[in-house]
Every structure is written in structure tokens, then in C-alpha cells.
Amino acid sequence: MISKEDIIKRFISYVTVDTQSDPNSNTTPSTEKQWDLAHKLVKELKAIGMQDVTIDDNAYIMATLPSNVDHEVPTIGFISHFDTSPDFTGTNVNPQIFENYHGGDILLNKEEDIVLSPDYFEDLKQYIGQTLITTDGATLLGADDKAGICEIVSAMEYLINNPDIKHGKIRVGFTPDEEIGRGAHKFDVEKFGADWAYTMDGSQIGELEYENFNAASAVVKVKGKIVHPGYAKGKMVNSMYIATEFISSLPKMETPEHTEGYQGFFHLHNMHGEVEETTLEYIIRDHDKAHFEARKEVMLKLTNEINSQYGREVIVTEIKDQYFNMREKIEPVMHIVDVAEEAMKQLDIDPLIKAIRGGTDGSQLSYMGLPCPNIFAGGHNFHGRYEYVPVESMMKATQVICKIAELTAEKNGSY
């Protein structure tokens, strides 16, 4: 298998390239800097021996590993995204490597006294004795989803260098802008040409997911009136107070910090305001489609109630669907989950089959005709300064990719 040293070197070469996406941009990719890693990946795929390596005008990358068997095998794909979250800085990422993790606190940044502690992040206790890659406390790491890219490239390199491992045709795809919900928007499923695929975009080792949130965004614009505060009685309308009324009227315990498992939520992730206008930006999430629709209706009903209370339109709420639960598209082809589960078991990995409390490119791709469950990439605490990834988890994910390819060829597409 690819050595630990090679995995570390490859991963660090990716995360030190700034690829944050920008939800306020209308271009694809949404930031010019995503091209830096995209072009690097194209060169690397060619260098390891992949064929049909392409990159289109929107930075979507595809490549092929041809079949090395003489019988028909379904074409499978592996997909990851190369952008990082706009929610926390990804500029000047400075990874730190901690070998043989001792199980206690890790001092990420002495000057700022930033500590990665198992007292708060209990998952750390799973990785005692392993090698951890962390941030320096100032940026995110970018394991979401550069760990996935590292694993896919490493697996392809290993299969190319070990032709005794039999496999069918494999397609790989790398996308921009997943973190802002657009990763699959311009993905050419027909060109990709796979019967099914897997996103390598999960978290802890063993995760295997074919359910995800139904998702929508909501922009709430609140209108006020500004006049001189000394003469404001009966005239000023402070939009920030009305916005506060809207916020406090939504269910207080149905927010991310109070929910888990299959529980949905309303998440206010951004707000900015002045007396005359305040804007609230929400995301709405629920695994259950009926509950999802009900959540959208709650926001619209609240908007109407407040407008009625003021006797005019003081709030406008615009809701846009983003993606849907892939479960209904995966269940008819559950063999694609079964083969991934079997691959993990053969590698002594305990499969953790659960619902994603989020979304991946796979959810949109499944509705575009490419069934696409999600497999662990190994990282934890994504989108912030406490992000880390165990190197051993990345190595295991690389092995899972190779084993799925091998099992698919072995079983000749029948399960």
C-alpha cells in the first residue's frame, strides 16, 4: 500500500494551496485560486499514469483508469471536491504533524493558547498511538475534502503500480464549490459515464452514508425606516428589532447546537443590519421530506404573521431548495452500499452506516442519475481551527477504494 510518508506528503501539498470558495461569486469556480489546485491535480493525474485526463472551463476534472480484466464490469467512480469552506480562513494553512498521539491535549498555538483537547473533542481518544495532522490554530486544515482527493489519487497510483489487482474501468472526478452547494451543478454525468460512484467526503473512519439532509437556504430581508433619533417617536421603524422578533419566534431548541441524528434544524448563519434594513441568512435542514416542507412553511407563515402585525410588508422571505435526501435514489440500488460495506469488513473496519447531517456532491449527483453514496475520508472538526485527520484513517480509506474496485470486478457486477 502507499506509504504513510507518501500520504502525508501528498496531503500537505494539497492543503497548503488556498482553495476557499465564495458564495457571493457568480463564477464557476467561485474563486480564481481554486484553479491553482485544479491545475496541479491535472498534472499529477497524468504523472501517475491516469488516462483521458480532462479539465473543463469550470475546473471540473475527470480521469480514467482502464479496466484490466477481460470480462464486463460496471464502471465505478470516485469523487471529491477541492474547495474549502468560506466559513473559516483557509489562507496560509500550516499543518502540524503529531506522531504517536499520546491521548492528551495537543497545543496547536502557544501564543493564542489554542488547545485541541479530548476533554472537548472525545473522538480524539480513538486515535491514541496514531499520527495526527492538525492546524496551527489559525486556519482550517482542509481535510474536507483534500483528504478525499489524496485518497483517490493514492488509490489510483497504487492500482496502476500493482496490475495484479483486478478491477474494471474506474472514473475519478474532482469538483469545485461543493462547500457553497454548487459542487455538482455543472458536473457532466453523461461524460463521467459511471454506473455508480462514491464521494470520499465523510468524517471518521468507517462512515458509510446513503442518507442526507433535505436542504434549503432562506434569505429574510427586514425593512425599516430611519429618521433622526431625536425626533423618531411614531416615525422610526428599527429593522433590527423586527429581525430579533423573527429570530426569537422560531423554535429555540431546533438549532444545530441542540439537535443530532435525524433531527432537523433552522440555522441562522449570517446576519447584518442597520435601522433601515436587516438581512438574515438561514439554512433549513431535515432528513424527513414532510418535516422539511413544514419547516419552510413555518418561516413563511411567521413572515406573514409579522407583516400582518405591522399592517404592511416589513419582511420578505425568499427560500430556495438546495438538495434532497439521496436515500430514495440509493435504495433501489443498495448493492452499491453493500459492496462498500463488504470492502470495509474485509479490511477490518467496522462500517458506521448512518445519515449525513449535511450534504455532499453525492446527494445532487444521485438526483442527476449517478447514484453516489458517501464514504469516510477520515477528518474531524471540519471548517475550523480544531480540524484534524489521522493519517492511518486516510490510509484505510485508500485501501477501501482499492478493495471496492477489486470486489466489483470479482463479483462481475452481481450482488
83 catalytic residue (yes or no): yes
Alpha-carbon span 80 to 362, nearest angstrom: 9
Catalytic residue among 18, 22, 44, 83: 83
Nearest Cα to Cα of residue 140 among 232, 15, 224, 261? 15
In the numeric block, which cell numbers belong to residue 255?
438549532
SS3 state of residue 143? helix
Closest CA to 77 of 410, 387, 370, 339: 370
The 3-state DSSP class for residue 386 equals coil
Instruction: Tell me how long the chain is.
Output: 415
Question: Is residue 178 among the annotated active site residues?
Answer: yes
SS (H, E, C) 62-102: EEEECCCCCCCCCCEEEEEECCECCCCCCCCCCCEEECCCC
Residue 410 has which C-alpha cell?
Answer: 470479482
**Three-class secondary structure of residue 408 per DSSP:** helix
10 Å CB burial of residue 262 (0-12, 13-18, 19+) is middle
What the block records as the C-alpha cell of 164 is 495484479
Cα–Cα distances in angstroms (integers) from residue 168 to residues 66, 128, 191, 195, 320, in the given order: 7, 37, 17, 11, 39
Which residue of the set 22, 144, 145, 178 is catalytic? Answer: 178
**Cβ of 325: how many Cβ atoms within 10 Å?**
24
What string of DSSP letters covers 190-240? HHH--SEEEEEEE-STTEEEEE--EEEEEEEEEE-B---GGG-TTT-B-HH
Residue 384 cell numbers, joined: 475550523
Catalytic residues, which ones? 83, 178
